[in-house]
């Protein structure tokens, strides 16, 4: 069985900007995969290249074994993409939108599946409403339905929860999870680490066009629990705590804890040694530093 997505040495420049820099990885069939990275990291560019919306300068991409350029028809039949930007055709109703989209994929009698999609996405009562008259979140749901009209084995959602309320976010994830359980491969991009954590098996991180990490969720979570705590102490650090010390900055000693629950032990040790704590900060780890740590430490 071919990989759901196979990305091989893909590079793409926009003028002087290297939007993708020699990116390679695979997503296996049935995975729930997250693509993370800060704004401008190249996530959308990579998805566009998968979908044939943009052409990489070098490298190749296969969807379910089909090259997205040479064998574009089969590749596009295998892929459903929910674009990041909210777009719609203001001339059409929800049902017309989905019928036309089915037709572009060569499907004529698709109404049963369209009805099911409308029901699952909570759009059944909006079927005959013009897209213009829908709220932003509703339009987003229509885009999800559009990406699914041809029942693609691989589905890519580019920040589907941006600007979407909590309720829709949860129902959307429940739906996507259901699709994954039914065998669809899911790739999503998000800025919320928790979303990636609760849903995905594996996570890739892009930064300035480079793939900086590719990990299973469990490994990530372990790194995610690590915390750095900065202490301002009235006396030198007791020897027994030296192994946890990672650095000193601005007169603060920074300790690395594998888990925040270790903090209690550290405080007890300090009390016993009669070292008064003047100030204590838990350094919030952002997603990026988790990954960077992982890159430098986790993989050895």
Partner 1 sequence: MQGFLTLFRKELVRFWKVSFQTVAAPVLTALMYQLIFSHVLSRHAEAYPGVGYTAFLIPGLAMMSMAQNAFANSSSSLIQSKITGNIVFLLLPPLTALEFFAAYMLASIVRGLAVGAGVLVVTAWFGLPLPSHPGWALLFGLLGCGVLGTLGVIAGIWAEKFDQLAAFQNFLIMPLTFLSGVFYSINSLPPFWYAVSHVNPVFFMIDGFRYGFFGQADVSPWLSLGVVGGSFILLSGLALWLIKSGYKLRH
Ligand X SMILES: Nc1ncnc2c1ncn2[C@@H]1O[C@H](COP(=O)(O)OP(=O)(O)OP(=O)(O)O)[C@@H](O)[C@H]1O
Please report, as ranges, the residues that interact with ligand X according to CB under 6 A: 14, 17, 19, 37, 39-45, 84
Q: Tell me how far, at minimum, the Cβ of 210 lies from Mg ion, in Å.
A: 16
Rounded CA separation 161/166 (Å): 9
Tokens of 247: 């650095």
Q: Tell me how far, at minimum, the Cβ of 96 lies from Mg ion, in Å.
A: 28
Residue 111 sits in the site that holds partner 1 (CB under 8 A): no
**Exposed, middle or buried: residue 90 (CB in 10 Å: 0-12, 13-18, 19+)?**
exposed
Binding partner selected for residue 25 from Mg ion, partner 1, ligand X, none, CB under the kind-specific 5 to 8 Å limit = none
Q: Whose CB is nearest to Mg ion?
A: 44
Residues 27-66: x where in contact with partner 1 by CB under 8 A, - otherwise, as a string: ---------------------x--xxxxx-----------
Residue 146 sits in the site that holds partner 1 (CB under 8 A): yes
Q: Tell me how far, at minimum, the Cβ of 79 lies from partner 1, in Å.
A: 8
Q: Count Cβ atoms below 10 Å from residue 29 Cβ, excluding itself.
A: 15
* C-alpha dist (Å) from residue 142 to 121, 123, 130, 132, 182: 8, 8, 11, 12, 21
Q: Tell me how far, at minimum, the Cβ of 90 lies from partner 1, in Å.
A: 7
Binding partner selected for residue 42 from partner 1, ligand X, Mg ion, none, CB under the kind-specific 5 to 8 Å limit = ligand X
Tokens of 62: 């296969």
Rounded CA separation 28/100 (Å): 31
Residue 105 sits in the site that holds partner 1 (CB under 8 A): yes
Exposure string over 8-22, b if 16+ CB within 10 A, otherwise e: eebbbeeeeebbbbe
Rounded CA separation 207/180 (Å): 27
Binding residue for partner 1, selected from 1, 16, 39, 90, defined by CB under 8 A: 90
Rounded CA separation 60/207 (Å): 20
Q: Tell me how far, at minimum, the Cβ of 183 lies from partner 1, in Å.
A: 21
Q: Which residues bind partner 1 (CB under 8 A)?
A: 14, 48, 51-55, 72-74, 76-77, 79, 81, 83, 85, 87-91, 100-108, 146-147, 150
């Amino acid at each position: 069985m071919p990989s759901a997505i196979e990305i091989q040495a893909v590079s793409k420049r926009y003028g002087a900007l290297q939007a993708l820099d020699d990116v390679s990885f695979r997503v296996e069939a049935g995975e729930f995969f997250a693509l993370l990275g800060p704004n401008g990291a190249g996530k959308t560019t990579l998805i566009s290249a998968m979908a044939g919306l943009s052409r990489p300068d070098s490298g190749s991409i296969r969807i379910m074994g089909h090259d997205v350029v040479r064998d574009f028809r089969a590749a596009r039949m295998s892929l459903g993409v929910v674009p990041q930007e909210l777009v719609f055709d203001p001339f059409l109703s929800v049902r017309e939108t989905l019928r036309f989209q089915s037709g572009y994929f060569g499907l004529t009698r698709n109404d049963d599946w369209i009805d099911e999609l409308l029901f699952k996405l909570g759009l059944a009562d909006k079927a005959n409403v013009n897209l213009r008259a829908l709220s932003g979140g509703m339009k987003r749901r229509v885009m999800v339905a559009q990406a699914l009209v041809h029942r693609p084995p691989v589905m890519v959602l580019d920040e589907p929860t941006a600007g979407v309320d909590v309720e829709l976010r949860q129902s959307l994830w429940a739906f996507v999870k259901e699709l994954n359980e039914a065998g669809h491969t899911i790739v999503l991009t998000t800025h919320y680490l928790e979303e990636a954590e609760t849903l995905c098996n594996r996570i890739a991180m892009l930064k300035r066009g480079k793939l900086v990490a590719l990990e299973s969720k469990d490994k990530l979570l372990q790194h995610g629990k690590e915390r750095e705590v900065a202490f301002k102490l009235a006396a030198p650090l007791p020897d027994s705590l030296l192994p946890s010390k990672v650095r000193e900055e601005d007169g603060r000693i920074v300790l690395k804890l594998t888990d925040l629950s270790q903090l209690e032990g550290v405080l007890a040790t300090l009390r016993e040694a009669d070292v008064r704590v003047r100030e204590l900060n838990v350094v919030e780890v952002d997603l990026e530093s988790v990954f960077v740590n992982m890159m430098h430490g986790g993989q050895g």
